[in-house]
């Protein structure tokens, strides 16, 4: 059996639990847009976690509102797909009654619920510890994937984490050399990253606009922008950045976790352009030719 999962902490813990139960012998980390656009071959030997549904799969676990509201939402599948703080909680709920070994993940899943929901205070964002630090390191938006002087690539490192979680605590994993050097890079980048986002962002009404195209994106957590003094009045951010190989652009929409007044459904908005996510955080991929037009439309849609 194969597990196809998203490489953030939520998907990673889903994969770890399924490894723990000996329900898979291969892990495949993919991007949600690759699933949506049919770039991933899926068979009835696959369990999909924290990613869009595929009709060929054996089981499916997901909590993204963009998937739950799709017009062709499946009526017959194994697994759980519903509103939940995390996909990992759904995997836990599905298997825990008959597999008490999963109880060791319960505290970690609680932390994932907080992280995925952006239910963090200022100190937790400024100085993450334990599971929150691991969550930021695994979050693609932290941009560690753009750092090429680590001992091993970020993809190689992240794909080891599910198996490591079956054997070690989060604190032990954070102390391992390959993880520790990422923690160091994260810490040492904080000041310069704040300056970078201040320079490359502006406030348009209530919308924090970050245009990172053709820029070398620094290592920083995705909530940093909401802490900067220039943008505390903003309640939602719209970020545009280069996509893979600069063949397209990615537009991300996210509610501020400190100024929680936005009523915009980010998943619905990004869904209009082929993307998806949650009400408070979503993204879409757009062509280079359409990027400027769509960016303006998304910014205007966020001014409510």
Domain harbouring 209, CATH code: 3.10.310.30
Report pLDDT for 304: 78
The DSSP 8-state label assigned to residue 132 in this structure reads H
The answer to the question of residue 125 being in a domain is yes
Number of C-beta neighbours around residue 101 at 10 A: 12
Both tokens of 85, joined, read: 């703080």
Helix (H, G, I), strand (E, B) or coil at 24: coil
Which pLDDT score, from 0 to 100, does residue 204 have?
Answer: 97
Query: What is the pLDDT, as a whole number, of residue 271?
Result: 92
Regarding whether 221 and 95 lie in a shared domain, the answer is: no
Domain boundary among 154, 181, 208: 181
Query: pLDDT 10s per residue in the chain (304 long)?
Result: 999 999 999 999 999 999 999 999 999 999 888 888 889 999 999 999 999 999 999 999 999 988 888 888 888 899 999 999 999 999 999 999 999 999 999 999 999 999 999 999 999 999 999 999 999 999 999 999 999 999 999 999 999 999 999 999 999 999 999 999 999 999 999 999 999 999 999 999 999 999 999 999 999 999 999 999 999 999 999 999 998 888 999 999 999 999 999 999 999 999 999 999 999 999 999 999 999 999 999 999 999 7
This prediction has a pTM of 0.92
Exposure letters 144-182 (e unless 16+ CB within 10 A, then b): bbebeeeeeebeebbbbbbebbbeeebeebbeeebbebb
Please say whether the beta carbons of 254 and 302 come within 8 A: no
Helix, strand, coil share (%) of the chain residues, nearest 5: 45, 15, 40
Contact 138, 170 (CB under 8 A): no
Return the pLDDT at 199. 96
Do residue 68 and residue 135 come from a single domain?
Answer: yes
Structural domain contains residue 261: yes
Query: Domain boundary residue among 130, 156, 181?
Result: 181
pLDDT (0 to 100) of residue 228: 95
Query: What is the DSSP pairing of strand 201-204 with strand 207-211?
Result: antiparallel
Same domain, 248 and 209: yes
Residue 212 and residue 141 share a domain: no
Q: Does any domain span residue 187? A: no
Q: Would residue 186 count as lying in a domain?
A: no
Do 170 and 247 sit in the same domain of this protein?
no
**270 and 150 inside one domain:** no
Q: What are phi and psi of 170, to 5 degrees?
A: -60, -40
Domain extent at residue 173: 2-181
What is the model's pLDDT at position 75? Answer: 84
- Give pLDDT, residue 38: 85
Same domain, 175 and 234: no
Q: Is residue 154 in some structural domain?
A: yes
């Amino acid at each position: 059996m194969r597990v196809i999962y998203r490489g953030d902490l939520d998907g990673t813990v889903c994969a770890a639990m399924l490894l723990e139960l000996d329900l898979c012998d291969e892990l495949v980390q993919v991007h949600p847009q690759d699933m949506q656009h049919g770039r991933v071959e899926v068979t009835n030997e696959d369990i999909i976690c924290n990613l869009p549904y595929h009709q060929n799969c054996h089981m499916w676990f997901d909590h993204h509102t963009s998937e739950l509201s799709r017009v062709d939402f499946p009526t017959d599948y194994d697994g759980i797909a519903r509103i939940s703080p995390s996909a990992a909680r759904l995997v836990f709920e599905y298997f825990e009654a008959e597999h008490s070994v999963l109880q060791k993940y319960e505290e970690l899943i609680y932390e994932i619920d907080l992280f995925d929901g952006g239910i963090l205070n200022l100190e937790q964002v400024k100085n993450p510890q334990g599971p929150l630090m691991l969550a930021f390191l695994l979050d693609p938006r932290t941009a560690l994937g753009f750092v090429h002087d680590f001992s091993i690539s970020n993809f190689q490192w992240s794909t080891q984490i599910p198996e490591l979680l079956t054997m070690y605590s989060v604190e032990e994993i954070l102390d391992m050399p390959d993880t520790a050097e990422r923690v160091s890079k994260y810490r040492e980048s904080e000041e310069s990253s704040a300056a970078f986002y201040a320079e490359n962002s502006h406030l348009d009404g209530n919308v924090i606009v970050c245009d990172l195209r053709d820029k070398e994106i620094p290592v920083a957590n995705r909530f940093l922008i909401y802490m900067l003094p220039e943008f505390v009045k903003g309640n939602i951010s719209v970020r545009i950045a280069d996509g893979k190989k600069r063949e397209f652009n990615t537009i991300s929409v996210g509610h501020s976790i400190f100024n929680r007044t936005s009523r915009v459904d980010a998943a619905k908005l990004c869904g209009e352009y082929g993307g998806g996510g949650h009400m408070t955080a979503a993204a879409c991929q757009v062509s280079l030719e359409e990027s400027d037009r769509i960016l303006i439309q998304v910014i205007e849609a966020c001014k409510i």
